[in-house]
Amino acid sequence: MMTRRNFVQTASLATAGLMLSPALRAAETNFPVVRIPESKRKFKSPAVEKTIQEIQSSIGNKELAWIFGNCFPNTLDTTVDFEIVDGKPDTYVITGDIDAMWQRDSSAQVYPYLSLMKDDPQLQQMIAGVIYRQTRNILLDPYANAFYKDPNKISPWKTDLTDMKPGVHERKWEIDSVCYPIRLAHGYWVNSGDTTPFNDEWRQAVLLIVKTLREQQRKNGKGPYHFQRRTETQSDTLAGGGYGNPAKPVGLIFSMFRPSDDATVFPFLIPSNFFAVTSLRQAAVMLEQICHDEAGAVECRNLADEVEAALVEYAAVNPHGTGKIYAYEVDAFGNFYCIDDGNIPSLLSMPYIGSVKRDDELYVNTRRFILSKENPYYCVGTAGEGPGGPHVGMGMIWPLGLITEALTSTDDAEISRCLKTLQNTTAGTGFMHESFNENNADKYTRSWFAWANTIFGELILKVYKENPQLLS
């Protein structure tokens, strides 16, 4: 069974550059066909194909147009398993090189298609199927981060010391695993006006999310979640007998793992707590207006207010005595960790996920730190510069980080630099990767990472609508 970490360790560097030989790599006007053949595509969307045609025929940078045509449909082409079950759409979405459905990845993979649903009923139905399946996943286990379609499939992590259930691939508690489904549901509703997926089962799932987040405030003991793994990798298991490192119960929510699936150092993961506030407020509106559950909406808002107040008190630190920034992790005892990670939610991504305004003073200060050598995981090399993260180690730039930088930027020069770096670091494959070496883009991790591909398409669409001259 291939895992994310095993893939990084074994396939990334060994297979880099094998997809296309140097002789076949993209030339100025002659680009190889690398998209999967139409007959083998998992799901086809006329709206997506029309968008690809429009972009490719309209922008002057033909290499970016080629990469967009490969990346934007990659989730649909390769990861979507869609069918109708008991009269309802059901969509299982794998992350790419692993046959499992992450709540985070699956939400992020289809989110960029939401604006195209109005022109494609089948695409809308497919995304509704993601919401139905995510709802069932939450009801099965709100603490799990990844699930199987086949409940009888045996997880390679079946021996983890936690409450593993049939149908669960992995049970790492990450706050964003319950926030992303709310973000997707809210975006689906806003873009379509359709309330069909938001039945009583969905309402129960939202209430279970609130209950879980309350439990992980840990005001009355450690709570029900614990996790340990027999492993040589420190970040794949938890200290403290499976409950993680200690933190003061101040209203913030404990997140035992990051969006990278790495264990946190200090349990209060700041960008994920911000994400929880945003998601709880979105859930409150939906519970109120769709489900007519006033009590549930009040519960969501009360928890959001409590977490937000704690963030105001504990999220900002002054590590160098030169001004406050948001820490990545804190424990509310006065300890903090100032880095950022290439995955989303990150500190850099907070305006993108709706947690803070782009011109928020603390965010501006934090952004300056993240995109500098003061951040130990910011990479500067001959192949490019950009955000990295602990998950794959030093000197590895994350396309997700570069994409996030561009999505949250108001500076044309910064956006252009990010686009140029992304264009020049596909190692000739025409696709995004998890990470690439700062000095050699041919050394990369994960040749099939659908989230990075689709969000790259989202970036190109945004730039095309707002700054088309940058694509010339």
Give the SS3 label for residue 82.
strand
Cα–Cα distance, 285 to 278 (Å, whole number): 11
Task: Confirm if 263 and 257 have CB atoms less than 8 A apart.
Answer: yes
Cα–Cα distance, 368 to 405 (Å, whole number): 11
pLDDT digits (tens, 9 = 90+) for 147-193: 999 999 999 999 999 999 999 999 999 999 999 999 999 999 999 99
Mean pLDDT of 445-467: 97
Cα–Cα distance, 164 to 229 (Å, whole number): 12
pLDDT value at residue 18: 35
CA 359 to the chain's CA centroid: 23
**Integer-rounded Cα radius of gyration of the chain:** 21
- Residue 440, burial from CB neighbour count under 10 angstroms (0-12, 13-18, 19+): middle
Q: Sign of dihedral through CA atoms 128, 129, 131, 132?
A: positive
pLDDT digits (tens, 9 = 90+) for 112-145: 999 999 999 999 999 999 999 999 999 999 999 9
Size of the chain in residues: 472
Nearest to 452 by CA among 425, 432, 426, 472: 432
- Kindly tell me if the per-residue pLDDT of 431 is higher than 50: yes
Cα–Cα distance, 289 to 286 (Å, whole number): 5
pLDDT value at residue 14: 35
Residue entry with tokens 């880095």: 339
Cα–Cα distance, 343 to 213 (Å, whole number): 21
Q: How confident is the model at residue 26 (pLDDT cuts 50, 70, 90)?
A: very low
Least confident of 7-11, 49-53, 105-109, 240-244: 7-11
- Sheet hosting strand 329-330, strand order edge to edge: 268-269, 329-330, 336-337
Q: Which helix (H) or strand (E) holds 403?
A: helix 399-407
399 preceded by a cis bond (ω within 30 of 0): no
Give the SS3 label for residue 252.
coil
Cα–Cα distance, 198 to 191 (Å, whole number): 14
- Kindly tell me if the per-residue pLDDT of 22 is higher than 60: no
- Kindly tell me if the per-residue pLDDT of 10 is higher than 50: no
pLDDT value at residue 322: 82
pLDDT value at residue 320: 86
Overall pTM surpassing 0.85 (yes/no): yes
- Kindly tell me if the per-residue pLDDT of 63 is higher than 70: yes
Q: How confident is the model at residue 17 (pLDDT cuts 50, 70, 90)?
A: very low
**DSSP 8-class letter at 96:** B
Cα–Cα distance, 471 to 459 (Å, whole number): 11
Nearest to 97 by CA among 332, 417, 444, 463: 444
Give the SS3 label for residue 147.
strand
pLDDT digits (tens, 9 = 90+) for 255-304: 999 999 999 999 999 999 999 999 999 999 999 999 999 999 999 999 99
Q: What percent of the chain has pLDDT over 70?
A: 94
Cα–Cα distance, 397 to 438 (Å, whole number): 6
Q: What ranges make up the beta strands (E) of 413-468?
A: 435-437, 440-445
Cα–Cα distance, 76 to 81 (Å, whole number): 9
pLDDT digits (tens, 9 = 90+) for 214-228: 999 999 999 999 999
- Residue 125, burial from CB neighbour count under 10 angstroms (0-12, 13-18, 19+): middle
Question: Across all residues in the chain, what is the average pLDDT?
Answer: 94
Phi, psi of 284, rounded to the nearest 5 degrees: -60, -45
Phi, psi of 449, rounded to the nearest 5 degrees: -135, 90
pLDDT value at residue 29: 60
- Kindly tell me if the per-residue pLDDT of 27 is higher than 90: no
Q: Which amino acid is at 191?
A: N
Structural tokens at position 354: 């709706």
Task: Confirm if 108 and 181 have CB atoms less than 8 A apart.
Answer: no
Q: What percent of the chain has pLDDT over 90?
A: 93
The vertex-187 CA angle with 296 and 357, nearest 5°, equals 90
Q: How confident is the model at residue 21 (pLDDT cuts 50, 70, 90)?
A: very low
Structural tokens at position 395: 């000197």
What pairs with residue 197 in β-bridges?
A: none
Q: How confident is the model at residue 16 (pLDDT cuts 50, 70, 90)?
A: very low
